[in-house]
Amino acid sequence: TSSGIGTGLATNRVVIATKSPAQTAAVDALRQQRHRAMEVYGLYLELLTIFITHPSVVVGTYAASTIKMALSTPALVQNAPEFKGYDLLLAALPSVLQGVVMLAMKSDGPDTSASADTPVAVYLLMDFDDVNAFSAFHSTARSNALQLAQAMATIAPVEAFELLIGYLSELANEIAALDASTVQMPEVPLENRRKWEALSVIFGKTVTGMLEARTKLLSEKQDSPIRATAIATIENSIQNSYPALVAFAPRVHSMMAAHLNTLSSYLPYLAINPSHLMSYIDMLFSHLLKPAVNTVGNQSAVGGRPKTVDGVFDVEEVGQLLVRRSACKYFIRACKDTNGQMLSLAEECVRKVDSMWSNQLLSWGERGLLIEGLFLVSNHITDSAQQSEFLNQVAGDTINRWTTNELTRGVASAASFVSYIGIDALDPSEDALTHRETMIGCVKVIYGASMRLTTPHRPPTHMAQARAQAIGSTSTPQDVFAPVLLAVLPNLLSMIRCVHELWTVQGRTHIHPQLHGVLEMSKEEAALRLGGFLSNNAEKRRGSKDTDNNAQITFKTGIDSVRNFLDNMRDNSYLALKYMLGRAVFYTIPDISGILLETVFNGMDQMQLKHVRFVTKNVVHTLVDNCPAQHHRTILSSLLPGYISFITQLLDEQWSEFMRRVPDLRAGGGLEGGLPNDRDSTRGTENEEVLAVLECLCVA
């Protein structure tokens, strides 16, 4: 219906040049039809604006979907200003954006324990049975709202942008007034914080829509004053709003993180107007110039958990950590989305990063993220020698740390690895904590390099690859990461082998008995976490007296810290290996199949299923996809038969256990021990494990 109404308005534009009575009557009838169509279209938009601003999330979501379809009318998309209902659309724009903000705002969902004192709360209780149902629906609602915001900005870029700037300015003034009213951290109402977050995301979609409209205007072949004016208006709107938004800096950390997301929307604009790019980078770095978050063992580098006092997280430190990570994340995005404009600023950025690192203002994790952004910048260096020199300047120290004799001895065996990272005792030494920080920091840099670095010009085409294979060439001299790969791979694979061996019977003997919980969570600890780990009840977080030792010491001796460290090391190592498998130099290593059998594929029969799936998806799949044909016999034929046999055996065991609980279903029996999808039992999890093993077998 939406498309039909829009098409009708578009196709009724008929020019009749003759003046006969019959034709004049036809013209009058057509004008009346147009007038009636405009009345209907106006009523139609009025109803939709009522629906999209309705207190019910369900009603608003379906209205947003309908409006989005109405905006997809070809005549409207192709030439919006000439669309007959364009003025009516502009009039409806404020109400539509108001509804979009309501739908994009985060919410807690229905609360049956409290009285419904607002229309929104009443409709939440009417529309949803529980929080889970609301969360699933609200994800779709928010996505539809953001897509509608982008569509509106494409159709009416300047009008939508000015409205949104008005909303942001109004809310920013309220926040600034609260900031000025107290020296302490201001208490910004929760609704305002959620509204700010929603506006920041909507703003990003709006700027994207504006830039799409600009690109569309630039692609038009016929030049005209109207077209030039429209392009200039869009560019001026973005340019004039940027300085004020950069200057705004809310003190509430969660709002500052959302504001950084707002500013990142300007990156496509900064790519074509790089004069403001350095000031944008300086703004990001300004959030890193304060000392790094005071965490246990510098956990911002290891697992991202700030310190706790009696099991309670420090809210101020959590917020500061969020802002710092957001600044690092948007630095990577700036290096990626500015089309090489960062290359002229690369040396300055390297100096600033080195200065912050030498002054102990960065954690290992933050430094790794900034270096990852610099890897992206280096891809625009067209000379291989210059790029290699730049990489050595950026990451040479990290690579040297990873290849030291001390670390090589530390990953020589499971026993040495346990001692090296300090999980053979309840109270790890300072050296052990330093080793953890260094290892995870180095692995993240290696992962970033393997993922981000390309050849100086562009990846080789399929024809170039075929030509290289035809002449027997198996290396890529232009791959500046190749020497780094060969240097770091031995210790990386040794570390993976050590982590795998921790799950074996022999490996467990090296770990302190009270730290066995780092390998798998006990039922008591799982119950403790589900009972209130994320709540505000500190007593629940600390656990009760009848819990076992593992649950009791979770927040006291660092089981969480070690578990996060091992998870980060394993996952980042697998991912680094995944991208290494995509490089030709990997397959030139002598006896690489035997090395992989002894490291990555070692001890898989003792691994948890989630780890088997991760290896399958990121290592086995990538290996099969990228292994050159001439190495199929020497590599794939050595690795896959044993792996497929292991997966098949695992599937047989899982399936036998599953079928043991299933009586004759043809006789109408049920599943022994509960329904398969009963979330209160373990049946659903076990069924998922069967499907997970099937997935691994299919990939193999």
DSSP line for 357-426: HHTT-S-HHHHHHHHHHHHHHHTT---HHHHHHHHHHHHHHHHHHHT-HHHHHHTSSHHHHHHHHT-SSS
Distances (CA, A) of 87 to 29, 71, 148: 23, 14, 18
> What pLDDT, on the 0 to 100 scale, is given for residue 11?
45
Contacts 24+ apart (CB under 8 A), 604-612: 604/500, 604/643, 604/646, 605/646, 606/500, 606/503, 606/504, 606/505, 607/500, 607/503, 608/503, 608/520, 609/650, 609/689, 609/692, 609/693, 610/692, 611/570, 612/647, 612/650, 612/692, 612/696
Q: Which residues pair with 312 in a beta bridge?
A: 309
User: Residue 293 and residue 571: Cα distance in Å, rounded?
Assistant: 24
Whole-number pLDDT of residue 587? 93
Characterize 541-554 residue by residue with b for buried, 16 or more Cβ atoms within 10 angstroms of its Cβ, and e for exposed: bbbeeebebbbbbb
**Sign (positive or negative) of CA dihedral 260, 262, 267, 269:** negative
Nearest to 457 by CA among 477, 472, 485, 484: 477
Residue 478 has a pLDDT of 72
Place of tokens 């692609």: 219
Contacts of residue 72, Cβ cutoff 8 Å, sequence gap at least 6: 2, 3, 151
Identify the pLDDT of residue 663: 57
pLDDT given for residue 180 in this prediction:
74
CA gap 267, 269 in Å, rounded:
5
pLDDT at 685: 54
- CA dihedral for 220, 221, 224, 228, sign (positive or negative): positive
The distance from CA 620 to its chain's CA centroid, rounded to whole angstroms, is 24
Does residue 313 sit in helix, strand or coil? strand
**Which residue reads 């420090």 in tokens?**
314
Q: CB of 528 within 8 A of CB of 551?
A: yes
Q: Which residues of the chain have pLDDT under 70?
A: 1-19, 112-116, 183-186, 291-316, 455-477, 521-558, 661-690, 692-693, 699-700
Query: For the chain, first and last CA: distance in Å?
Result: 48
Residue 308 forms beta bridges with which residues?
313
Q: Is the dihedral of CA 293, 296, 298, 304 positive or negative?
A: negative
For residue 312, give the DSSP letter.
E
452-490 core/surface letters (b: 16 or more CB in 10 A; e: else): bbbbbeeebeeeeeeebeeeeeeebeebbbbebbeebbb
In sequence order, what DSSP letters do the residues of 594-650 get, joined into one string?
HHHHHTTTTTGGGS-HHHHHHHIIIIIHHHHHHS-GGGIIIIIHHHHHHHHHHHHHH
